[in-house]
Amino acid sequence: MAGPENWRLVAASPGDRGIIVGVVEVGEGTVEGPELPVWAAHYAASTRGRGLARVGIGTSGDLAALPWPVAVVKLAVLAEAARIAGLPGGDLADALDPRAVSKRSAALGRAARRRPRP
């Protein structure tokens, strides 16, 4: 999703329809964690009672122009985000970097109990 107008489209879509949100940037120089795709999946799931079962996450564009190792990293971020998005509440919170989701945690220097990434 590149801007608020796209999120309005998600919010306006009937809740019984699936939505795929393209949130992992395809630029070669971008490095991301799973926090944004997890947030996007849960935000889309919250619209019109859609639920996580009707939400997919993907890249914001085509990976064809990227070198293979860079594309693999992008796909690994997507896979990890999909895994985390389906976790129950407490496990979900533990799997995310608190600095990405809470200004207060970031200010207090709290570290998440992170599981090692594959």
> The tokens of 87 are what?
């976790």
Number of H helices, E strands in the chain: 6, 2
Per-residue pLDDT of the chain (118 residues; tens, 9 = 90+): 456 778 888 889 999 999 999 988 888 887 788 998 999 999 999 999 999 999 999 998 899 999 999 999 999 999 999 999 999 988 888 888 877 766 665 555 554 444 444 4
* Residue 56: its H or E element: strand 55-59
Q: What are phi and psi of 55, to 5 degrees?
A: -125, 135
SS3 2: coil
Q: Are 20 and 10 in contact (CB under 8 A)?
A: no
Give the burial class of 39: count Cβ atoms within 10 A of its Cβ; 0-12 exposed, 13-18 middle, 19 or more buried. Answer: middle
Using left for φ > 0, alpha for ψ between -120 and 50, and beta otherwise, residue 113 falls in beta
* pTM greater than 0.75: yes
